[in-house]
Amino acid sequence: MNERLSGDITGVHDPAIIRAGYTYYLFSTTLAPQGDPGKPQIPIRISRDLIHWKLSGHVLPSVPGWAKAAIPGIHDLWAPDITYCNGRYWLYYACSTGGSNRSTIGLATTPMLGTAPWTDHGLVLQSREPDDFNAIDPAHLIDRNGRRWLAFGSFWSGIKMVALDRETGRPEQPFVLHSLAERLVPQGAPDPIEAPFLFERGGWYYLVASYDWCCKGASSTYYTVIGRSRDVLGPYVGRDGKSMRQGYGTVLLRADFRDRDRFRGPGHSAVLRDGGRDYIVYHAYDAAKNGMPTLRIAPLQWSSDGWPTAAM
């Protein structure tokens, strides 16, 4: 499938995807020239067949004023996540600068994709330098009981999650932080884990996360792991039963698989459930194009005991 992707697929980083009617909508991190906060933010790509993609506008006209005030030096908006809930499309996005946990997660909504404007609702969640977490890479989940959750996190102490108010999409009060996954590293060393994505299938909740280093072009070492749990709060374990809270998980995407020679650092994944089939949607860095991030999509094949393999 990856060999057939065409159109506006270069420049896709941190993809999020949803289907509305006969159209697939793909959102991604803004890659504005020189990181210009005045440029349109969060590009939208559309497709009718998951193969041919076309740029089709942006979510917001520029970096919102509240984000520039909260995060000095911010250049662009990162890592969107898209879901449909309560008659609206909810798009969470991250605001930060490289290597800092002074970060925020914002929210924009629209009643209809493709025609209606987006409304920005401002700050949802933030982290500051004294915190042991980083409020980026949001991932919204509605569990089997209708309760809403937001997973997030990058480095620091790993992947976290909070419960959301069903109507506002903001954290419930009192604010309770749950830990889902963390790498085991020496004290003081970076904790290279980020980009959570959660979905439910067959009575299990699955957590996808990216390990190691992104954003280094063809030198990126990103790879993607998965774990599962009967409880939305975990513990999420790999096929070997070892917990993602201790840095384990079953490898799902890695650059030493078949397409290793050209596409490096596969990660920041989303899972699309469509017509009885599941797909993993992710970015990888194209060594043939100076390490440019590029859209990749692979069908997932499921084992009889409920573990996916990416058909790359």
Is 3 among the residues known to form the active site?
A: no
User: What are the distances in angstroms from CA 29 to CA 96, 151, 278?
Assistant: 12, 18, 23
Number of domains in the chain: 1
CATH number of the domain encompassing residue 111:
2.115.10.20
- pLDDT at residue 32 is higher than 90: no
pLDDT of 94? 97
Range of the domain at 29: 2-310
Which among 81, 120, 194, 286 is annotated as catalytic?
194
Q: Which of the residues 8, 14, 129, 165 is marked catalytic?
A: 14
Q: Determine the pLDDT at residue 310.
A: 95
Residue 108 pLDDT more than 60? yes
Task: Report pLDDT digits (tens) over 272-311.
Answer: 999 889 999 999 999 999 999 999 999 999 999 999 999 8
Q: Is pLDDT at 33 greater than 90 in this prediction?
A: no
CA dist., res. 136 & res. 247, Å (int): 19
% of the chain residues with pLDDT over 90: 88
What is the average pLDDT value for the chain, to the nearest integer?
A: 94
pLDDT of residue 189: 72
Residues above pLDDT 70, as percent of the chain: 98
pLDDT surpassing 70 at residue 257: no
- pLDDT tens for 141-187 read 999 999 999 999 989 999 999 999 999 999 999 999 999 999 987 77
Please report the pLDDT score of residue 231 as a whole number: 98
> What are the phi and psi torsion angles at 139 (to 5°)?
-145, 110
pLDDT digits (tens, 9 = 90+) for 69-106: 999 989 999 999 999 999 999 999 999 998 899 999 99
The average pLDDT across 214-238 equals 96
Model pLDDT, residue 259: 52
pLDDT band at residue 21 using 50, 70 and 90 as cut-offs: very high
Name the pLDDT band for 214 (thresholds 50, 70, 90). very high
Is the pTM higher than 0.75? yes
14 catalytic? Reply is yes
The Cα 142–Cα 130 span in angstroms is 30
